[in-house]
Chains A and B, each alone.
Chain A
Amino acid sequence: MPLDTSTYSLALLRLDGRRWNELRRLTAQISTQAAADGSSYLEMGNTKVICTVTGPAEGKRTGGAGTGGGNEAEVRVEIGIAGFSGVDRKRRGRNDKRISEMQTTISNTFASSLFTHLYPHSTININIHILSQDGSLLAACLNASTLALIDAGIPMRNYICACTAGSTSSHSANDEAADPLLDLNNLEEQELPFLTVATVGESDEVAVLVLETRVQMGRLEGMLAVGVDGCKQVREILDGVVRRRGKRILESAAV
C-alpha cells in the first residue's frame, strides 16, 4: 500500500505528486455524440464522465411533476454510475441518496443560470454517465454539463465551472499550519475535509457550495479562496475547448 496523506508535510507533495495549488489534468471534448442535441466528454484526472443534453423539448405530461414546467423550462438531470467506475464493482440503485442529491444540485444550479424563461412548458434533459470515479465527482458532472449545454446551444448566463478544495490535515488533527488543497482525488477525499465549489464565469459569484465534512472555521476561508481560484482555471480550460470546437466548425463551413 502506498503512503497516506500525512506525508504531505514531508516535502509539500501530495499523494500523486501534485503541489497544493495544482489541478489534475483536465481534458474535455464536445459534440461527442451526434445523436444528442449536445454532448461532452470530460476527464478530471481519472474521473471520467460523459454528458448528453436533449431538449429543450415540449413537456410530456408526467402528472404534474414539473412544478416549474409552467412559464419556464424544467431542467431534469439523470446520473448513471457505471458498475465498473469505482474500485469495487457495485450497482447503485435508482434511489441512491448520493446520486439524487447530486442530481438536485446540478438541476438547481442550471435552472438558475440557463435562460429557462425562453422555453416555457418544456424540459431540458441532462444525462450524465460516470465511467470512472476518482474524486471531485460533482465538480466533473457540473463541468461536463456546462459543455454539453453549450454544445446544445441553450442560452446561458455564463459558464458554470466547478472544482473541489480541501485541506491537508483532517479535522481532528487540528493542525493550524494545514495548507489548502485544490482538486482532490478519491484517496484525498476519503481522508481529508473538502468542499465542492462552482462559480459563474470569471466572476467570484459562487453558484454551488457543498461541504459535507467537518472542518475548522479558520481553514474554510483559505479553502474557499483556493477553490474559487481553481474554478477560474477550469473556466480557461473549458473556454479553450469551446473555442477550438467553434473554430473547427467555422473552418469546415468555409470549405
Chain B
Amino acid sequence: MTSLKRSLASDPYASNISSKVYVRSTKSGKVQKIVREVYLRQDIPCSSKLCSACLKTAPRDASGTLPPFVLSDTPAGTKEFPQGHYLVPDTNALLNAMDLFEHNSAFYDVIILQTVLEELRNRSLPLYNRLIGLTKSEDKRFYVFFNDFRLETYVTREVGESINDRNDRAVRKAVHWYSEHLTQSVKTAGQRKINPAIVMLSDDKDNLSKAKADGISASSLEKYVAGLENSDQLLDMISVAKENREMKDANAKAAENLYQEYFSVSKMMTGVKNGTLHQGIFNVSPYNYLEGSVHVPAFDKSLLVLGRENINRSVQGDVVVIEILPKDQWKEPSTKIIEEDTLNKNENPDAEDGEQVVTERERRALQEEVKQVHSKGTEGRAQPTARVVGVVKRNWRQYVGHIDESSVSQAAKQSRKQQMVFLIPMDKRIPKIRVRTRQAGEIIGKRVLVTIDSWDRDSRYPVGHFVRSLGDLETKGAETEALLLEYDVQYRPFPKAVLDCLPKEGHNWIVPPSMDDPGWVNRRDLRGLQICSIDPIGCQDIDDALHARPLPNGNFEVGVHIADVSHFVKPNNAMDAEASIRGTTVYLVDKRIDMLPMLLGTDLCSLKPYVERYAFSAIWEITPDAEIVNSEFTKSVIKSREAFSYQDAQNRVDDASQQDELTTAMRTLLMLSKKFKQKRMDAGALSLSSPEVRVETESETSDPIDVKTKEHLDTMSLVEEFMLLANCSVAAKIYDAFPQTAMLRRHGAPPKTNFEELANQLKVKRNLELKTDSSKALADSLDACVDPQEPFFNTLVRIMATRCMMSAEYFCSGTQAYPEFRHYGLASEIYTHFTSPIRRYADLVAHRQLAAAIDYEQLDASVRSKGKLEAVCKNINVRHRNAQQAGRASIEYYVGQALKGRIVEEEGFVMKVFSNGFVVFVPRFGIESLIRLRDLADIEPESTFDAENYILKTSGSREVEVELFEKVVVRISDVVEEGTGKRKVKLELVKTGSK
C-alpha cells in the first residue's frame, strides 16, 4: 500500500514554503478559516543604490525591465545619525503621523515593510491609500520591502504570541537584516561608501526597549523629530491622540465619561437589519450647531437629532446609526439661531475635569426651545427625533480654520511650551477642535489646516493636530487656498506624467493639412460652414459653436459643434486619470482651476475663431416649427468664423442693417430656440432661480471694484436651448447603444414634504397656493406667485423653491429603472451632459460613448464597466457640488472685499424668521445674512414670536415687527470680528417695509 503522506524532504522547494492561516468573519457573521501558501525567497532586493549584490538577483517584469532601485546612496543625516539613515516606521508611527511622512522637509528614504503595510490597511484604508501614493512619488523615495516573503526576514508566530507582538518582532527582524545586509554590501563594494543607519520608528515603548536589547537603532517619533531642523513645526503634526490615551491610563481613575458609549458593531448591524435602528448621513443645521438631521430610507422626513448628548460625537458627514426616541420626546426643528462661538466663548481648552457635555448656557438655550413646543400645544408639528448610538464611518477630512485667540494663554504666546488651543473651523457645522501646539503664538491670525484625530467619550470636543499654516487671515492667497481646501478642489499644478500626455507639437499643433492623415479617418470636413461661437466675455475655453442654414425644402439644418476633447485625452492615461479625479473645472472670481492642462483647454481643444479645429458635431434637420426631422452625429473638422460675446451677438441680431450670413443664421437660431423653449415650458420645465451676481474686478490686480447682478440676454437662452437639445439627443443615442452603461444625468422629483414649509408660508402670508403634484403644476403655480407691488417677490419665491429641490446627479444607466432617468427640472425623459467636455469629465465620457455608438472607435473597457462608471459618477457628483459651492463662496468673499470700508443701504427681503432673529436676502449683492435680536439695539429687546404667522415682534429697547417675505431696508457694512480678526459682512436693520 502506498500512503498519501507527502514527501516534503525530497522537494527542493519545501523549506521555502510556509503557510499562513488566519480566521476572518464575514459580513453575514460567518467565520471562515483561510489557509494560504507563502513562498519564501531570497531574490527580494533591498533596493538601496549602495548595494550591488541585490542588483544581480533583482527580478524583472514580463517585458524584462528592471524596476529602478529606490533608496538613495547619499541619504540625509541627522545629529544622531550623521552618516545618513534609512527609516523603518512601524504601523503606529504611520497611524499617528502620516502628515509627517508626507511633509517635504524631512522623511526621505523610508522603507515600508509588508507587515506594516498590511497592518495599516486593516486599520485605516485612507491612510493606506495615502501611503501607496507616497510609494509612487519618485522624490520621496519610499520603498516597500516584502519582508514576509524573504526567507531571512520571515517570522512565524510563536505559540502564545499575540499578532501584534509577532508583527513587532517581524519589524525588528527586518531592521536587523537590513543593517547587516547593507554593512556587508558596503564592505564588499570596497569603495569608501557610507553605511547608513537603519532606524526603526515606533511609539511603542515595549517595542523600543526590545529593539535596544536586539542592538538595533530605534527611536520614538517624538525623539526623532526633535532632532530634525524644523522640529517645532513637525512636532505639532504628531497626533496627540495616543499621548492622551496613555496619560489617561496613567491616571487610572478614568475621567468621567461625557458621552454615551457607542453600540458594538454587531449590535448596530442587527438593529439596522431588523429595523429598530437606522443608518444615514449626519447633517448639521447651518443655523443651529446643536441640531442635526439624518435622512433614512424608512422615513420621508429627515429625523432630527437635537442637543450635544444625542448628537453624541458625530461630525457633519459621518455615517451614523440612530435610534428613534419615544414619541413624547419628539421635538420641532428649532426656530432659534444657536451659534457655537457666542454660546461657549470662554471655555478653557485644557479643562479636562469637571467638564460637562452640555454647558449651562447650552442647556438654557435648548430649554427655551422645548418650552415653546409645549406652550403652543400643537404636537402635530413635532418631528421624529432620534439619538446617535454609533458611527459606522467617520467622514473626517482636513479642516481649515483659525485659532481662537482667547484660548491661547498670554504666557504661551512667546514661549514654545506646548499647549492646547481651540481651532474654530471655517465650516460652521464642524465643532471646535482641540489642538495641541507649540506654535500658538505664531499661528494666531493665520488660516490653518488641521485634522481631527479622535473624539473620545470623555472629551467635549474632538482632538486634532495642526497640519500647516496657509498664511495670514484675509490675505487673498490664504483665503483662496482655504477655499480650495475646504471644498477639496485639486489645485496643485499638473504633474509631469500628465503633461507628458499632451501632443508633442504643443501650441504648434494644427489639424493635419493632408486628408490622408489618420486624424481625418471618419471625420467630416465641415470647414465650409458658417460656424460661430457665443460665450460670456473673455471666455477662453470655448466648448461649443453653432451653425444654421436653410435647406431647399424649407427646413433648416442646425449644427452644434463641440470641442473634440476625447481625441486628445485617451482613456486610462495619466491625463485621463487626473481629469477624472478633478471631475470639473472650478471657476472662482479671480481664478480658474482647470480640469485639463491649459494647452488643451484654451488652445488645442478650444473652438477658437479663424483656425481649424477637431469637433464632435450634432446635426439636425429642423422644420420652421421646431420639429426635428432627422438627427446625426459625426466627428468633424470645423473653422469657426467668429467668437461672439453674448452682448455682441445680441447687438448684431438686433441691428436690422446687418444682413450677413452669420447674423441671419443667428436670427434663425434665435427664432428656433424660442420655439424650443416654449415647448419645454409647455411640457413642464421649471424656470428656477438662484441669486446670481458678478464681481467686477480690476484687470491687473483683480481687486474687486463692484458687484453687478447678471443681466439676461436672448442670446443666452439661444445657446442654452441648443445645448439642451444636443444633450438630450446624445443621451437617447448612447442609451440606445449602451443600455447598461450609458453616462446620464437625472434630476429626481422632490418629495412633497420638501415643499411643505414653503407652501405653508405662501398660504399664510400671501394666500397663494403652491401645487407640487408635477413639475408642470409647480411651474404654473410658481408663475402665479406674484406680488403686483413687488416684482422681486416672484424671484424670491423661485430662489426659495430651488432650495427645496433635489440636486441633479450623474448616474450609470444600468443602475436605475427607465422612469427614474427623468430630469425633473428640464421635464426631459432622458438627459446627459455632452456640450462641455473641456470643463466636465462627464461630458468626456459621453463623448467616448457617442463615438463608439456611431462606430467611430472601439469603446474602451473603462467606460463599459458598470462598476467603474458608478465610481466615476460618484466622484464627479461630489466634485460638481463642491465646485459650485467653492464658486459661491468665492463670490461671497469678493463681495465682502468689494464692500470693505463702505457702508451702503440696500433693499432686502426677509427669507426666514426665527424666534431670536431673521435672515435677510439682499438681491443687489446676492448676500444673505442673519440679523439677531441682539443686533437690533444695544440692549437686546424683548420679543414675541408668532411661529404660525412667521412674525417676530420686538418691544422695549427697539420696537419693530418683522414678517416673512417683507421688504426691509438694511445697512450693509463690514466689521472685523473681535478676537479673531476675521472680516464679516454685517447687516443692520434700518426700517421695515410698511411701518
Contacts and interface: CB of A to CB of B under 8 A. Distances in A.
B571 A174 contact: yes
B495 interface: no
Contact of A18 (B33, B39, B144, B862): B39
Interface stretch (B117-125, B435-443, B508-516): B117-125
B146 A17 contact: yes
Contacts of B572: 173-176
Given A27-B11, A180-B62, A11 B17 contact: no
B38 interface: yes
Given A12-B59, A17-B149, A185-B37, A27 B6 contact: yes
Residue of A25, A187, A222 with most partner-chain B CB within 10 A? A25
Contact of B44 (A13, A171, A174, A180): A13
Given A12-B59, A34-B1, A17 B121 contact: no
Residue of B61, B117, B867 with most partner-chain A CB within 10 A? B61
19 contacts: A2-B36, A2-B118, A3-B121, A10-B144, A11-B44, A17-B39, A20-B61, A22-B39, A25-B14, A25-B37, A46-B19, A46-B35, A174-B860, A174-B861, A174-B862, A177-B61, A179-B62, A179-B63, A185-B37
A32 B7 CA distance: 14
B819 to A, nearest CB: 28
B507 interface: no
A24 interface: yes
Interface of B: 1-2, 4, 6-7, 11, 13-14, 17, 19-20, 24, 30, 32-41, 44, 59-63, 67, 114, 117-118, 121-122, 132, 135, 144-146, 148-149, 571-572, 860-862, 865, 867-868
Contacts of B1: 34
B61 A25 contact: no
B117 A16 contact: no
Contacts of A252: none
Contacts of A21: 62
A172 B38 contact: no
A216 B862 CA distance: 11
Contacts of A17: 38-41, 146, 148-149
A46 B861 contact: no
A192 to B, nearest CB: 14
A162 B20 CA distance: 26
Contacts of A10: 132, 135, 144
A29 B116 CA distance: 40
B968 to A, nearest CB: 57
B88 to A, nearest CB: 16
Contacts of B33: 87
B61 A11 contact: no
B37 A24 contact: yes
Nearest to A10: B144
A174 B38 CA distance: 28
Interface string A88-117: 100000000000000000000000000000
Nearest to A41: B4
Given A18-B39, A20-B61, A179-B62, A29 B122 contact: no
Residue of B6, B33, B39 with most partner-chain A CB within 10 A? B39
Contacts of B861: 171-172, 174, 214, 216
B36 A222 contact: no
Interface in A158-187: 171-177, 179-180, 185, 187
B327 to A, nearest CB: 43
A16 B62 contact: no
A10 B36 CA distance: 21
Given A21-B62, A88-B32, A172 B2 contact: no
Given A25-B17, A174-B861, A13 B4 contact: no
A222 B39 contact: no
A157 interface: no
Contacts of A179: 61-63
A49 to B, nearest CB: 12
A22 B6 CA distance: 21
Contacts of A185: 36-37
A45 interface: yes
Contacts of A13: 44, 59, 146, 149
A1 interface: yes
A31 interface: yes
B11 to A, nearest CB: 7
A46 B37 contact: yes
A22 B40 CA distance: 13
Nearest to B3: A32
Contacts of B135: 10
Contact of A3 (B13, B62, B117): B117
Given A3-B117, A222-B62, A16 B860 contact: no
Given A15-B36, A16-B36, 4 more contacts: A1-B24, A17-B38, A19-B59, A34-B1
B114 to A, nearest CB: 8
B32 to A, nearest CB: 5
- Which 6 residue pairs of A and B lie closest in terms of their CB atoms, listed nearest first? A17-B149, A172-B865, A17-B39, A179-B62, A10-B144, A172-B868
Contact of B36 (A34, A41, A46, A172): A46
Residue of A12, A32, A179, A214 with most partner-chain B CB within 10 A? A12
Contacts of A24: 37, 39
A88 B865 CA distance: 29
A199 B62 CA distance: 22
Contacts of A88: 30, 32
Nearest to A87: B32
A3 B32 contact: no
A17 B39 CA distance: 5
Residue of B6, B114, B862, B867 with most partner-chain A CB within 10 A? B114
A29 B7 CA distance: 10
Contacts of B40: 17
A29 B61 CA distance: 33
A13 B146 CA distance: 8
Contacts of A214: 861
Nearest to B5: A29
Contact of B11 (A25, A134, A176): A25
B67 A12 contact: yes
A193 B899 CA distance: 61
Contacts of A173: 572, 862
B37 A45 contact: yes
Nearest to A245: B2
B188 to A, nearest CB: 24
A144 B924 CA distance: 83
A134 B34 CA distance: 10
Contacts of A12: 59-61, 67
B865 A171 contact: yes
Nearest to A16: B37
A204 B38 CA distance: 31
Nearest to A179: B62
Interface string A17-59: 1111110110101011010000001010110000000000000
B321 to A, nearest CB: 23
Given A13-B44, A174-B571, A216-B861, A29 B121 contact: no
A66 B879 CA distance: 64
A88 B118 CA distance: 24
Contacts of B6: 27, 43
Residue of B30, B36, B40, B122 with most partner-chain A CB within 10 A? B36
A41 to B, nearest CB: 6
Given A10-B135, A20-B61, A185-B37, A25 B13 contact: yes
B35 A20 contact: no
Nearest to A50: B4
A32 B61 contact: no
Contacts of B860: 174
Contacts of A176: 572
